[in-house]
Amino acid sequence: MWHPTAMHRNGNLVRPWILTVQTTAINQTFGLTLQGTPLAVKVIWGDGSFNDYTTPGAKNHTFAAAGTYQVLVSGSGSPGGASVTTGGNRLISTSPLQGVVGFYPNSTFANCNNAAFTSLPNELYKNCAESAMFSYGAICFGCNKLVSLPADLFSYHIGSGYTSFDFAFTNDTALTAIPPTLFDRARISSGPGVRSFNTSFSGCTALTGPAPELWDPAQFNVPSSHANCFKNCTGLSNWADIPNDWKGL
């Protein structure tokens, strides 16, 4: 039986992925795009309604009244994913991505720019599926109220073959710093694998402190591509040391 913080699946207690959504007027919509084949996902919308989804695509819900709702997501996609694609300006917080078997981070929170969406929880992607080809692409693209990142955001999964960070955090204009250990799992000591950083922090104009030296082959596996990674991030303390192609110059 489902209840606000947990569910039972195959005799085990499973905590769902919890998205807190705030509407400010009647008949406002929030939605996810679900991916995966086969797909079996339940979404409880927090207003007394729920849906079971077995086909991928956009899944939108209209809330009849203004208020704050906890949207609960659980199930599986193999491989799959879920991203906020409708009403991202209504998302005010997220729990770790849990209770959804086989899901990947790609594009999870693109354009979620509510004034309250200023940070991400620890262990956000810890429970994602492992894969040789792994993508964090566009995970917080255009989240222009996001101020800080948890240091462990990329600590749990780095693809042994290829990992993409393309467009992650692009135009996050309120982001103030890059945690020094954010990309430690991408270091050469973590094993082989190609990394891609196209436009990753481009437009993050409030960044201060040092950028991780991702361009240094003595520290990190040489990325396959990295165009405009730190474009317009002129407040970084090591801006002068960043190669021009990483800066979009």
Beta strands at 12-14 and 67-86: parallel, antiparallel or unpaired: unpaired
The per-residue pLDDT for 37 is 87
The per-residue pLDDT for 11 is 52
- My answer on whether 36 and 153 are in the same domain is no
Q: For residue 240, give every residue at least 6 positions away whose Cβ sits within 8 Å of its Cβ, in sequence order, or none.
A: none
- My answer on whether 93 and 192 are in the same domain is no
Domain boundary among 101, 128, 147: 101
**CA 214, 139, 203, 209 torsion: positive or negative?**
negative
Pairwise CA distance, residues 139 & 179, whole Å: 17
The per-residue pLDDT for 1 is 32
Number of domains in the chain: 2
- My answer on whether 205 and 219 are in the same domain is yes
51: tokens are 């849906």
Pairwise CA distance, residues 168 & 110, whole Å: 9
Domain boundary among 46, 66, 101: 101
Bond into 180 cis (ω within 30): no
Where the chain has pLDDT below 50, the residues are 1-4, 8-9
The per-residue pLDDT for 6 is 53
Maximum C-alpha span of the chain: 57
The whole domain housing 116 covers: 105-249
- My answer on whether 129 and 246 are in the same domain is yes
The per-residue pLDDT for range 45-84, each reduced to its tens digit, is 999 999 999 999 999 999 999 999 999 999 988 777 889 9
Does residue 6 sit in helix, strand or coil? strand
